[in-house]
Structure 1
Amino acid sequence: MPYNLRNQKEVTEAMLRRTEEEIYQHLCPLTMEVYVTPEPVPFTERTSGERKIVKEGELWGKVWDCAWFHFTGTVPESAKGKKVILYIDVHGELCVFDENGVPVQGLTSGSSSMNPLCGSPKKREYVITECAAGGEKIDLWADAGCNDLFGVRPDVGMVEFAQISICRDNVKALYYDAYVLFDLMKETPEDSAKHQKLLRALFEASCQLWDYTDEEVEKARAVLAVELNKKGGDADLRFSATGHAHIDLAWLWPIRETKRKGARTFATALRNMEKDPDYVFGASQPQLYAWVKEEHPALYAQVKDRIKEGRWEAQGAMWVEADTNVSGGEALVRQILYGKRFFRQEFQKDMEVLWLPDVFGYSGALPQILKKSGVPYFLTIKLSWSRHNQHPHHTFLWQGIDGSEVLVHMPPEGEYNSMATPWAIKKAERIYLDKGVCDEAVMLFGIGDGGGGPGESHLEVLKREKDLKGLLPVTQGQAVDFFHRLEKGKDRYCTFKGELYLERHQGTYTTQARNKKYNRKMEILLREAEFAAAATGGVYDRTAFERIWKEVLLYQFHDILPGSSIKRVYDESLERYAALYEETEAMVQSAYGQGDYAINSLSWDRSGWLKKDGKWYQVTVPAMGSALLKDGTAAAETAAEDPSVLENDQVRVSFDADGSILSVYDKTQDCEVLSAPSNRFAVYYDDGDCWDMTETYRERAPRYFALTDAKAYVDGPMKKVIQQYAFGSSVLTQTISITDGSGQVRFDTEVDWKESQKMLRTAFYTNIETDEVSCDIQFGSIKRPARRNTSWDMAKFEICAHKYVDLSDCCHGVALLNDCKYGYCVENGMIDMNLLRSPNYPGEQADIAVHTFSYALYPHAGDLAHSDVRQKSYEYNIPLQFGGKVEQLVTVDNPNVIIESVKLAEDSDELVLRLYESRGVPAAASLRFGRPVEKAVLTDLMEEKERPVDLSAVSFGGFEIQTIKVKLKERKEPENAVSHRP
């Protein structure tokens, strides 16, 4: 008789289902009191909410409600001698607290919307006793969130289970024995001996089971133990597994819920460590640890103990897992500066790994920032999400725009939520691109994004897989130890140079434009405030600067700044941004004081027209100094006759009847800048979400705002045209202006945007023939394709840039400057800027609001490298300030060397200057300070490693960042003056 393999498999599958059902015996329901509040309240106020009595099947709250559950009951006498648990699922997130108000364990609904390929999220079991006497009283408090791991779902807030139950650990062990072997069987060829052996063992185990008595269960386990005890032997590849709970600090939930997710996740990890001595868990983001420390100090103390023990890995060099496309250069430095300092101060751990598994592309400036911060390693998985082209490596050396290198590993499974099952191990082995030169890879297992982390299922599976025949070995360990081993073979790894561009989520360069504008303005204002305090000798409040910076860094999290969170996140962040801006602006004004001086915080002299109190002044303000405003000319704005042309000594701008620009003629170069009518406000249909816009959106012809009015005015040296437009329910007002002595054409814009599922763009069609566009990024620039010849070019249909993009040939060029925009399409001489997007998911009404922004077209002689575009883009974003006289702090004799920031050192009263070479070629620069220098050293971005420097000849590689720490001689204070310096 032939073997009936199909029937054997069916019997085995049925056995797996039945075994899972036999693990628990539910005895009686718990009694539940619920105290509901709209926002979280602490343990000490747990009875302050609206009191309800609920039962299984009843709703206890609405979405985003918070509640304290009080579970009470009595263990039945029938449970005597048994392991008793509470089996609880309230279709929300729970955290059990002890009698002292300390988080003990998280509980998660089994019906969460987690991707099933990442494993079950359910954590329903809370142990009361390993051996019940019967009659034990249950009195338990748990903090609940009326939300799913992933925000909301239809049945959120309904109690599904709240039972006193018996848990049969031997049946549970049988289930995981069978589960692992069954999954391994599915991953082996059906005609292989291994497949047949596994199937037969599973079938024979099934045949032992009738009533699931303890004797039957042990017999079945004994059958399976034959296969589980077969060892793998020598392996060509190994996996280092680290438990992980990637926690988005905001996404489909508000920031306040993340604080509770952190407590639930950390408490659960600690409890699992008590149960499993092999378990190694890791968590990133100092901001998350800081919240836990603030709100749950006793829980935090337990975490510190586990970190000291080596069972818990503190991960990630940044304060938060930040976006690196839109965040500014100094902000990325501060992310690492504050992140590393936190982990050192709290845990005496020096972070060596940048931990960004889920960020939407990685700036080419990052390797240098990492290298000069003492972070030699980088982990991500996100490039596996690219749509069109596969990144060629999982393990490689990444070289930045300056030539700095870091070692990168991308877990080949492409997951930070691995199930850690045989299927996951086989998948990772199959697609690991560098397995020929690498002996090891990382696996990040657990439930993430919404937190939770590894559950019982992950750990039980891993126990059985350590050296199981048919699988590559899997050993739990810290990721940093893996990188130390990986580094030994770095001579064999390939090098990838430039940015790590993600071929997805390009809509995040634009979505939630107000947040992006505030981020840009806060980065600039903090720069100004730190310079003002340092340069004037006024109050330098380190505590305030650090507090403000850390909150700005929080909002650079990769689901906040990119625009991919729910509406509430932006309602709250915009309110906080406004308060932070007001506070920081007051610090600037306090430092500069009152007066008739123009103050320039940039590192080169600035000349031009300036208007103050109704008067125009033509000024030249020295680098990092001030100039007295004198010989001002009062000028009243007067109407001009012709709104179809603007002209000054450098440029002539002509308008069509529809308001678009027909011509921009550069008088200084005697050439026409444009090849076609430009600056039409195009509205594209956009049915994407907050992350992704349809790549073929241009295939559907756009509609345009219609001009309703245009008037021309003259205001002293400024000539301008004010245009008004309408589209549907939206209105747009734009002031196009030119100023004597300048070739910039400026566009100051206000839009009351009321369109849904639409995208607003403007384009300039230039006469420049070039294959590449130069884009401003952090601490330099990068060239990207301006043609669509290959799939790699096509994938870059939308690119990210900061203060400018530039098209140039050998003779002349055109730059588009901006004050808060990041998304561009550049192709065949066209520069198209993405102004607004209004998708509906996950943030409803994204960008439906009143927006103000500004951009400028700037024709120039020569290519980018030989132009002043970089300086003009800084001037466009960093206005001159007004106040009292400021003595010149420092000058730099090389125009390509830019001082990005001036601050007080973290641990002394010395000044720290951050400079970089902006052209991309080696350079030397001389620095001259306004006061005598007592001490000057080069240091790293952590302000620690010091080496001598000659200020008259500071050397730079192309795009190199240099950080200089100086001690200046004290100013001679007037008699009776009080110094405010710390």
Structure 2
Amino acid sequence: MHDRRSLTEHRIERVLNERLKPAVHRRVGDLTVQAWHVDGGQGEPVAPSEAFAASYEPFAVGDQWGPAWGTTWFHVTGNAPAPDPAGPLEIVFDLGWADHSPGFQAEGLVYRPDGTTIKGLNPRNVWIPVPPGKAVDLYVEAAANPLILEIDPFRPTKLGEKTTAGDRPLYRLARAEVCVRDTQVWELVADIEVLDGLMRSLPEQDGWRMELQLGLDHALDVIDLQDVPGTAAAAREVLAPLLARTASQGAHKISAVGHAHIDSAWLWPVRETVRKVARTVSNVTNLLDTDDSLLFAMSSAQQYEWIERERPEVFARLVEHVKSGRFVPTGGMWVESDTNMVGGEAMARQFVMGQGYFREKFGITCSEVWLPDSFGYSAGLPQIVKQAGLTHFLTQKISWNQKNVFPHHTFQWEGIDGTRVFTHFPPVDTYNSDLSGRELAHAATNFRDKGAASYSLAPFGWGDGGGGPTREMLQRAARTQDLEGSAQVTVEAPSAFFAKAEADYPDAPVWAGELYLELHRGTYTSQAKTKAGNRRSEHLLREAELWAATAAVRGLADYPAEDLKRLWKVVLLQQFHDILPGSSIAWVHREAAENYAAVEAELEELIADRLALLAGDGDQPVTFNATPFDGAVPALSGAVAARGGDPVRVEETADGIVLDNGVVTVTIDRAGIVTGLLDQATRRDVVPAGERANLLQLHQDFPNMWDAWDIDEFYRNTVRDLTEIDDLRVDLADNGAAAVTVRRTFGDSSVVQTMVLQPGARQLDCSVDVDWHERETVLKAAVPIDVHAKEAAFETQFGHLVRPTHTNTSWDAARFEVCAHRFVHVAERDFGAAVVNSATYGHDVTRHESPDGGTYSTVRLSLLRAPRFPDPETDQGRHARSYAIVVAPDVSAAVEAGYRINLPARQVTGSPVEPLVRIGGEGTAAVEAVKLAEDGSGDVIVRIYEPLGARTRVTVEPGFEHTGARQVNLLEDDVEADGLTVEDGRITLSLRPFQLVTVRLSR
């Protein structure tokens, strides 16, 4: 039997959905609709001018349109009647939506015949304003984006690639008519929704809750369900005293920021994102024009540039509202990128490009990082944020943790170098809030810093696929600005929130280290080709800038600043948090592969050209080394591989093969698996007794949800070691190296493993060439290391992060799959090893009991996955991966080996070339970038960091005439010197652990 509370709630829901909301729009006129299906509905988007000149055919409500990813233009004509005292006239134009998932299905953009836009259309924004007594003449560009999320529970779909999506129409035009929006009914709906949401959020025996219930019941009694427009005003009078009750002094305070989180690609291709942004910005500017209460913040300079280029009229409207301060650029980044896998210099360029764009177009330097949806946040980020001119950080995603609840919503976040940034997680637990009573109540009760702090932020507006704030959300904000029992809502900018929050909470607690997301761990591995393309592009850009800067300073060629900037933008876009992580549809990753191939080809040509110019006409072999070691920018000592050395000796035994180069001895058994890697200097074997290294392992990989995103811990419960062998071969190279090649087949796949020992090297180079056709399986390469260690070092931006490898706490146990860049290092006091790689990010490190006492650690690289949603063909096909097992007593050897495997030396014929800059002195530092200044002055920019986690002192030695050196931030603004001194022309850097410094050398 239902209690009174349940009856009231059900009554409200039914009256709202079946009587009040349908009465908001009353039909007063008909429209004529014609349609033009671009290339039969399956064509790519066209310019409005082309669409306006097309031949249209009659179309009626109920007719089908829209094969997946197609475009249909509707021409809508008619006459609007005279003004109606009940409210404004609006067209209701329903493309045939499901009543949910705005941003994930069909959308439209409304144009006037002159090409100017009015607003966007989506399931929560179905109306178009029309002036009364005027002719209607409008065009609607309708995008038939498939509702991929209806595929439940995330089953494989062919809709993610246009070539396989089919030509079946997905939608029917459901409504096209001129209506009156009844103001009193519309406002009554908002009154009831706000008070009903508040009532449901209060305790059952709360007195104010009971008053609300009685008042709502009375208001429903007043409504004549057969004459809703005629009785709406009377019902509102009943509710007015309830809405007039003011909040208590201690009410939680919410800064509501208008927002539309638009994924730059995800379940739609990049080309569709361009249109999504245009539709959303049109909606927002329309709302800004008509409602003074809205303030809207939008991140991602890339999305602004798209609008500027593709929809200049929409951009012009945006610019006017930026000038008024109500359309607020935020975030300071090129895109809302992933932060786990992005390399140090690329992470810096996200801010250099983003802040640079906002400065150039609007004269604005953003102060808040805006990353609500990235999949965890690296410990290297706070320093980068501060050096890019930003002071505050916002995210939401850590609320998705599977096991451990993050203890704070507002705190100081400390990075690996000690830099702190004031950080906020909105306790509303969504970046797409609709400001409902349920969400506001959740924000207030969920806020973990209550008592000590009073403020939180709520980003409101339909997002993921865009749409933005609606006028209904603004109605709720107005009613909850000062309402008893509710959090107090103020619509304002992110900067206003952070100013209040920081002043309110001066002693905010400190969280040191990464913000690890206990979810979506599979994103470190999914779509392996996308990840390989990113890694390769980052390092090619490093080389191109270094050699181009060197050639420019030597007067041999102009610096190709615009070309490099264009290529950086391509790479930065691919780092968006659903592209680089591998969680987008097939279309997105196909285009990413094409983009990376084009970037590589152009950069290789640029590098070859500059190397030829630098080497000149000589006939000597010249080695160009772009690493920070013994080359153009030497920085570290203790080379991993000695130069030269005797040829590797090969001995075949009954048990296998022994390779010896006088530095290490490698033993490989008859199954082609490493059983020993003996360091002759210490007589320590990297491989524990009885264990095998470079062992490929397969696991079933079928997570509970979010296929491309997740790898769940139970994957470890089943494992298959790949020990079967088809062929084993030993080869000797001309340079004295020895290579062991092993061929294996498994399932529907095959792999060629190659292990190479170079003369004089203290490492074993490994590679795999996999023809991968497994499904829902993960392939790992295991390297057991005979050291007793409770932690491991994992490279991140401008340094490394030390993580426990034990599982003492639930926080430790949750890190069963983690991200590293170029190396993972485990060690005892005087001995250790590293596993370095050229294209891998996913790793796991575990501890195991040794039979003879103590423990050893196993480092595993996650090489390939095979999830089936959203791309059912994820990772199918050929993949090549390189990695190395390095004898590394300390982390410096790991750093060096990581650079070398990603930046192999290049050899040309010519004359010796002096480095553009050297790092000298007794200390250790790494040069991450050498380039010319962004302002075109020709000054040389040198980015240097301390990579080992130790204080150091080094000298910077330019190989060219310069007139001065000064410290700048990432944006190349002058800053107060922090470690940089210049005395008698000698440039010295005193660096803290992991400190990042940018030096500007004037020419």
TM more than 0.5: yes
Further displaced range: 589-598 or 260-269: 589-598
Partner of 1:128: 130
1:906 corresponds to which of 934, 944, 960? 934
TM-score normalised to the size of structure 2?
Answer: 0.89
- Would you say 1:935 and 2:964 are equivalent positions? yes
Change (3 A) 1:681 1:48: farther
SS in 2 for 1:287: helix
C-alpha distance in structure 2 between counterparts of 1:83 and 1:308, whole Å: 29
1:655 equivalent in structure 2: 668
Please give the per-residue CA displacement for 1:108-135, whole angstroms capped at 9, x wherever unaligned: 03xxxxxxxxxxxx21111223xx44xx
Which of 686, 707, 712 aligns to 1:673? It is: 686
Contact 2:965 2:987 (8 Å CA) reproduced? no
Normalised by the size of structure 1, how large is the TM-score? 0.91
- Measured after TM superposition, the shift of residue 206 of structure 1 is 1.6
Further displaced range: 208-217 or 65-74: 208-217
Cα RMSD (Å): 2.5
Q: Matched residues in 1 for 2:869 and 2:589: separation?
A: 13
Q: Which amino acid aligns with 1:667?
A: Q
Pick from 191, 200, 203: which aligns with 1:189? 203
For 2:942 and 2:767, locate their aligned partners in 1 and report how far apart those are by CA, in whole Å.
33
User: Aligned equivalents of 1:412 and 1:183: distance in 2?
Assistant: 18
Task: Read off the aligned partner of 1:953 and give its amino acid letter.
Answer: T
> For residues 195 and 926 of structure 1, do their structure 2 counterparts lie closer, same or farther at Cα, with a shift above 3 Å needed?
same
CA deviation profile, 1:309-332 (whole Å, cap 9, x unmatched): 121111111111011110000001
Higher mean alpha-carbon deviation, 519-528 vs 490-499, is at 490-499
Q: What code does the residue aligned with 2:27 have?
A: H
1:242 and 1:281 in contact (8 A); partners too: yes
User: Which of 810, 813, 825 matches 2:832?
Assistant: 813
Deviations 1:640-685 (A, max 9, x none): 9676332221222222232222222222221221120222221211
**In the alignment, which of 53, 57, 63 is matched to residue 58 of structure 1?**
63
Question: Contact between 2:112 and 2:137, CA under 8 Å: does it hold in 1?
Answer: no
Q: Which amino acid aligns with 2:932?
A: L
Q: Whole-Å Cα distance in 2 between the matches of residues 929 and 272 of structure 1?
A: 55
Instruction: Name the counterpart of 2:998.
Output: 963
SS of alignment partner, residue 868 of structure 1: helix
Q: Say yes or no: does 1:552 pair with 2:571.
A: yes
- From 860, 870, 879, the equivalent of 2:895 is 870
- Deviation string for 1:433-462 (max 9, x for gaps)? 112221211111111110001123211211
Instruction: Specify the SS of the correspondent of 1:491.
Output: coil
Native 8 Å contact 1:235 1:473 kept in 2: no
What is the aligned counterpart of 2:478 among 439, 463, 468?
A: 463
- Alpha-carbon distance between aligned partners in 2 of 1:124 and 1:879, rounded to the nearest angstrom: 57
Could you tell me which residue of structure 1 aligns to residue 23 of structure 2?
A: 22
**Equivalent AA in structure 2 for residue 659 of structure 1:** G
**Aligned counterpart in structure 2 of residue 843 of structure 1, from 850, 862, 871:** 871
> Equivalents in 1 of 2:727, 2:5: separation in Å?
80
Mapping 1:91-102, distance limit 5 Å: 91=97, 92-102=106-116
Matches of residues 412-423 of structure 1 in structure 2 within 5 Å? 412-423=427-438
652-661 or 91-100: bigger deviation = 652-661
Is the partner of 2:677 in helix, strand or coil?
strand
Matched residues in 2 for 1:650 and 1:329: separation? 33
1:52-451 superposed matches below 5 A: 52-75=57-80, 83-90=88-95, 91=97, 92-109=106-123, 122-129=124-131, 132-133=132-133, 136-147=134-145, 156-210=170-224, 211-212=226-227, 214-451=229-466
**Is this contact kept in 2: 1:150–1:450, CA < 8 A?**
no
Give deviations 1:351-400, integer Å, cap 9, x for gaps: 00011000111111111111112111000011111111111111000111
In 1, the alpha carbon distance for the partners of 2:11 and 2:514 equals: 53
**Which residue identity does 2:595 align to in structure 1?**
R
* C-alpha separation in 1, matches of 2:366 and 2:559: 28
Structure 1 residues 277 and 509, CA gap change in structure 2 (3 angstroms): same
Distance 1:695 1:924 in 2: 44
Instruction: Give 1:162 deviation, angstroms.
Output: 2.1
Q: Distance in 1 between matches of 2:107 and 2:516?
A: 36
Alpha-carbon separation, structure 2, partners of 1:707 and 1:59: 57
User: 1:690 — aligned with what?
Assistant: 708
Deviations 1:909-949 (A, max 9, x none): 11000000111111110122223332111111111114563
Partner of 2:33: 32
Give the SS at the match of 1:437. coil
Looking at structure 1, the residues matched to 9 and 627 of structure 2 have their Cα atoms a distance apart, in angstroms, of: 73
Correspondent of 1:710 among 712, 716, 728: 728
Q: CA separation in 2, counterparts of 1:137 and 1:169?
A: 23
Q: State the 1:65 CA deviation.
A: 0.5
Give yes or no for the alignment of 1:777 onto 2:766: no
1:97 CA displacement: 1.1
Structure 2, unaligned stretches of length 5 or more?
98-105, 152-158, 160-168, 616-620, 637-642, 848-856
**C-alpha contact (below 8 Å) 2:635/2:925 kept by paired residues:** no
Q: Residues 462-488 of structure 1: CA distance to partner in whole angstroms, max 9, x if unpaired? A: 121111112121110001111122222
Is the partner of 1:496 in helix, strand or coil?
strand
Seen in structure 2, the aligned counterparts of structure 1 residues 878 and 228 have a Cα distance that, compared at 3 Å, is same
CA distance in 1, matches of 2:175, 2:13: 26
Partners of 1:152 and 1:159 in 2: how far apart?
19
- Residues 796, 821 of structure 2: 8 Å contact kept: yes
Task: Give the Cα–Cα distance (whole angstroms) in 1 for the partners of residues 694 and 652 of structure 2.
Answer: 22
Q: Deviations over 1:124-176 (max 9, x none)?
A: 111223xx44xx43221011110157677798432222223332121111111
Q: Do the aligned residues in 2 keep the contact of 1:722 with 1:735 (CA within 8 Å)?
A: yes
Deviations 1:844-902, CA, capped at 9 Å, x for gaps: 21111211110000113x332xx422112211211112334422222212452011110
In the alignment, the residues of structure 2 paired with residue 780 and residue 418 of structure 1 have an alpha-carbon distance, to the nearest angstrom, of 37
User: 1:241, 1:443 within 8 Å by CA — same for their partners in 2?
Assistant: yes
CA contact (8 A) 1:684 1:703 kept: no
Name the SS for the 1:461 alignment partner: helix
1:710 and 1:9, CA in 2 relative to 1: closer, same or farther beyond 3 A? closer
Deviations 1:64-100 (A, max 9, x none): 0112111223446897986432111213100101222
Q: Matched residue of 2:950: which SS?
A: coil
Partner of residue 892 from structure 1, selected from 895, 916, 919: 919
Instruction: State the 1:789 CA deviation.
Output: 1.7
Q: Letter of the 1:237 partner, please give it.
A: H
**Structure 1 residue runs without a partner (length 5+):** 110-121, 607-620, 626-631, 969-982
**Contact in 1 for aligned 2:953/2:990 (Cα 8 Å):** yes
1:600 corresponds to which of 614, 619, 625? 625
Write the letter of the residue equivalent to 2:257.
Answer: T
2:308 and 2:315 in contact (8 A); partners too? yes
Per-residue CA distance 1:714-738 (angstroms, 9 max, x = gap): 1131001111111122111121110
Q: Aligned to 1:756, what secondary structure does the other structure show?
A: coil
